[in-house]
Structure formats: C-alpha cells, structure tokens
C-alpha cells in the first residue's frame, strides 16, 4: 500500500502534560469549486463512510426540521425490530389519533389491516404522518413515551442542538434541530440500519389501493437511496438526500428552501461536488501501529498504540500532498492499562487542517512497574 500518512513516534515520561483534542475543521477547498447554495437557510454535506463534513453553510443554526424528524422515528423503529420488540410482518391496531393525523398520510384507518413493514414504507416513501403516529404507539405505547425515546437517543448521538416534540414533524413550538444534527442523524440511520435504503429510495408506494409518490425530488434517480422531506411552512422546504456511488455514501441536508424543486437542485449539486470533488483514501489498515509510548514506571516499558479498524479519509480530488497523523494521548493515562482499551485519539491532517479524529487502542497490556523494574529501566536508558 502506498504510504499516505506521516508516522509520529511518541515518547512519554512521568509528568508529561497531555494535549487537548482539537475540533475538526474543514480542509482547504478542492480544485472543484463548491456549489453556490443560495436561497436556503442552511446546507450540510457529509461523507457517511468517514463522517467528514465536506460542506457547511450555516449548519449549526437552529430551525424547525419539519418532516425530517421522521428519520429519528425510523431509527427507533428499526432499533425496536433489531431488539425483537416488533416484527416487520406484525399487524398493528390503528388508533383514532393515527387515523386523523393531519398533513401527509398513507391513509391507514381502524379496522384496515396494516403491518409494521407497510408502515415503514408509508413513513419513508410518502412521509405519512399517520404512519409516524402508529409507529410511535407501537414502539412505546404512546406518542409521549416515544418522544421521550427520541430525545434520549438524540442525546446519546450527541445531537446537542436537537429537541423533538412529536414523531411526525408537524410544526410545533419547541421542535428544533440544525442541518448538521440532521446530517449526523441520517448518517447514524444509514450506518446502523442500512436496510433503510431499500425502502427510502423507492419512487412510489401503493397501500389501500392508493399509489403515492416519494416527496424526495431526487427519488428514483441513479444512486439515490433516500431519505426524507419536510415542509416547515409555506415555501420552506427541508430535504435530506442520501446517495451511493463507487463505494462511497454521502448525505446532503437542505433546510429552508423556497420549493421542493430548489431543494432537490441544490442537493443534487452538493452530491455531485462530494463525489467528483473528493476521493476516499485509506490512511492505515486495521491493527496498524501508529505510536509507541514509553515510561520507566510501566511493565513492560513500552505500550504500542494501534488502530481498531481501517482508517479512511476523503481528500480533495486530484490530491496533492499526503495525509499526516498525530497521536493525542488520553488525559492522565496511567497504568494499569488493559489491552484493547482506549488510550487516545489519532488526528488526521490535510494541509495543516484536521480532517477527523479517530480513537486508538492499546495493543498490549501494561502494569505498574515494581522498584526493581524501574531501576532496570533507568539503567537501560543510561546505556
């Protein structure tokens, strides 16, 4: 494999101060110019495989996410299925509240058979608010209990600027998120439950003798795999689009577009930029030694630091220069240290900018050295 990363050997002695992990920053713009996204409130493009943000326009500003909250509804539904709480072919009793849901619907009703799988299609393809309510009641027993789960999961994902009030995205005071948080949520959904792509990317769905079409303006196009659409208010469209091409996956999020068509055009431009302006590169394979820590009060004296998985980054196309790496030890790292325990992070840098930070592990265990071992280590160091 072509060497693409600078190796940093690290020597630590007792009392050394540890660095604080910096906040990842966008690298220098690639040769292909970024698309001009105008007339929207916010836009974010994220690379799913590497979790790198490739474009951020007002991505941390808080807005009503409207129907994009259904991404969390879908996440919790798939999680319930994974935990065997629900089965795709399980029939659901439709409540009056779900039947009378306002806004977009798949037209479920009490007494009409519907399964969890059908609700999933209705939620992700035609954005059914009735499906969202029926799913919430099936997973948690009540809409209120489900909203609690939504906010708990958002907190565990680190979506600090997100607060949910309902599972369907109907405009409600207090419901808020950001383009960056929605992109992170979409990525989590795709990574943990990739089966969502088989549903959300479909162009249409038929239930109750009614054929409805995907509100995603890019649905059905080559490589488009989802994900969701919302209408916060008149002329205020939100869109999250996922796409796959040559082994790479991207998510584009638009908040506050003047129309569904404008949102689709901007998202398509962002995806083109992400696929054609950036390329993926492997920096380290799984199990690569990226640093060695040495202390006389450890036994053995040296701790090897390894990558738990292959580390990839995306860099501008065509790439010039190399990706560099910098190991940052965990604060107050002391023996005993178990093998495969987290010992810090590895920063990946491109042209001096941090692309991402990845956790790294101890390859071997170390214990506190006894007085004789410490004396021996000092003697060896003096030779």
With cut-offs at 50, 70 and 90, classify the pLDDT of residue 355: confident
Please give the mean pLDDT across all residues of the chain. 88
- Other C-beta atoms closer than 10 Å to the C-beta of 257 total 24
CA dihedral 101, 183, 249, 89 (to 10 degrees): -30
Sign for the pseudo-dihedral over CA of 33, 37, 43, 45: negative
> Angle at CA 132, nearest 5°, toward 131 and 135?
85
Query: Does residue 309 contact residue 286 with C-beta atoms inside 8 Å?
Result: yes
For the chain, give the secondary structure using H, E and C: CCCCEECCCCCCCCCCCCCCCCCCCCCCCCCCCCCCCCCCCEEEEEECCCCEEEEEECCCCCECCHHHHHHHHHHHHHHHHHCCCCCCCCECCCCHHHHCCCCCCCCCCCCCCCEHHHHHHHHHCCCCHHHHHHHHHHHHCCHHHHHHHHHHHHHHHCCCCCECCCCCCCCCCCCEECHHHHHHHHHHHHHHCCCHHHHHCCCEEEECCEEEECCCCCCCCCCEEEEEEEEEECCEEEEEEEEEECCEEEEEEEEEECCHHHHHHHHHHHHHHHHHHEEEEEEECCCCEEEEEECCCEECCEEEEECCCCEEEEEECCCCCCEEEEEEECCCCCCCECCCCEEEEEEEEECCEEEEEEEEEECCCEEECCHHHHHHHHHHHHC
pLDDT score recorded for residue 20: 39
Report the C-alpha gap between 40 and 275 in whole angstroms: 22
pLDDT score recorded for residue 65: 95
With cut-offs at 50, 70 and 90, classify the pLDDT of residue 36: confident
Report the C-alpha gap between 162 and 344 in whole angstroms: 28
Report the C-alpha gap between 227 and 230 in whole angstroms: 11
Average pLDDT over every residue of 110-126: 96
Average pLDDT over every residue of 211-218: 93
The more confidently predicted of residues 297 and 381 is: 297
In tens, the pLDDT along 300-332 reads 989 999 999 999 999 888 766 788 999 999 998
**pTM as predicted:** 0.85
**How many angstroms separate the first and last alpha carbons of the chain?**
37
Share of the chain above pLDDT 90, in %: 76
In tens, the pLDDT along 327-349 reads 999 998 999 999 999 999 999 99
Report the C-alpha gap between 21 and 347 in whole angstroms: 8
Report the C-alpha gap between 240 and 65 in whole angstroms: 10
The more confidently predicted of residues 78 and 335 is: 78
> Looking at the predicted structure, is the pLDDT value of residue 169 above 70?
yes
């Amino acid at each position: 494999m072509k060497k693409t990363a600078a190796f940093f050997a690290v020597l630590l002695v007792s009392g050394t101060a540890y660095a604080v992990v910096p906040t990842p920053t966008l690298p220098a713009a690639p040769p292909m110019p970024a698309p001009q996204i105008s007339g929207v409130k916010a836009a974010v493009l994220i690379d799913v495989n590497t979790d790198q943000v490739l474009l951020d326009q007002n991505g941390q500003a808080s807005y009503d996410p409207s129907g994009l909250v259904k991404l969390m509804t879908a996440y919790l539904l798939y999680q319930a299925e994974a935990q065997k709480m629900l089965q795709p072919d399980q029939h659901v009793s439709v409540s009056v509240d779900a039947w009378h849901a306002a806004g977009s619907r798949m037209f479920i009703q009490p007494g009409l058979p519907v399964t969890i799988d059908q609700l999933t299609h209705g939620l992700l393809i035609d954005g059914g608010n009735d499906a969202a309510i029926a799913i919430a009641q099936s997973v948690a027993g009540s809409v209120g209990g489900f909203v609690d789960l939504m906010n708990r999961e958002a907190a565990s994902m680190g979506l600090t600027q997100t607060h949910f009030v309902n599972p369907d995205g109907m405009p409600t005071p207090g419901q808020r998120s950001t383009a960056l948080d929605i992109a992170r949520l979409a990525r989590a959904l795709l990574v943990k439950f990739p089966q969502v792509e088989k549903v959300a990317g479909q162009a249409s769905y038929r239930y109750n003798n009614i054929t409805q079409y995907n509100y995603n303006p890019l649905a059905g196009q080559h490589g488009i795999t989802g994900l969701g659409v919302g209408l916060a208010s008149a002329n205020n469209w939100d869109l999250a689009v996922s796409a796959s091409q040559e082994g790479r996956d991207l998510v584009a999020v638009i908040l506050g577009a003047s129309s569904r068509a404008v949102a689709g055009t901007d998202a398509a431009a962002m995806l083109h930029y992400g696929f054609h302006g950036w390329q993926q590169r492997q920096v380290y394979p799984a199990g690569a030694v990226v640093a060695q820590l040495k202390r006389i009060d450890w036994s053995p004296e040296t701790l090897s630091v390894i990558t738990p998985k292959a580390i990839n980054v995306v860099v501008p196309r065509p790439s010039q220069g190399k990706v560099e790496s910098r190991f940052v030890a965990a604060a107050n790292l002391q023996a005993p240290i178990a093998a495969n325990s987290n010992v810090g992070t590895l920063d990946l840098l491109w042209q001096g900018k941090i692309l991402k930070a990845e956790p790294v592990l101890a390859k071997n265990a170390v214990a506190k050295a006894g007085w004789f071992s410490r004396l021996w280590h000092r003697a060896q160091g003096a030779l």
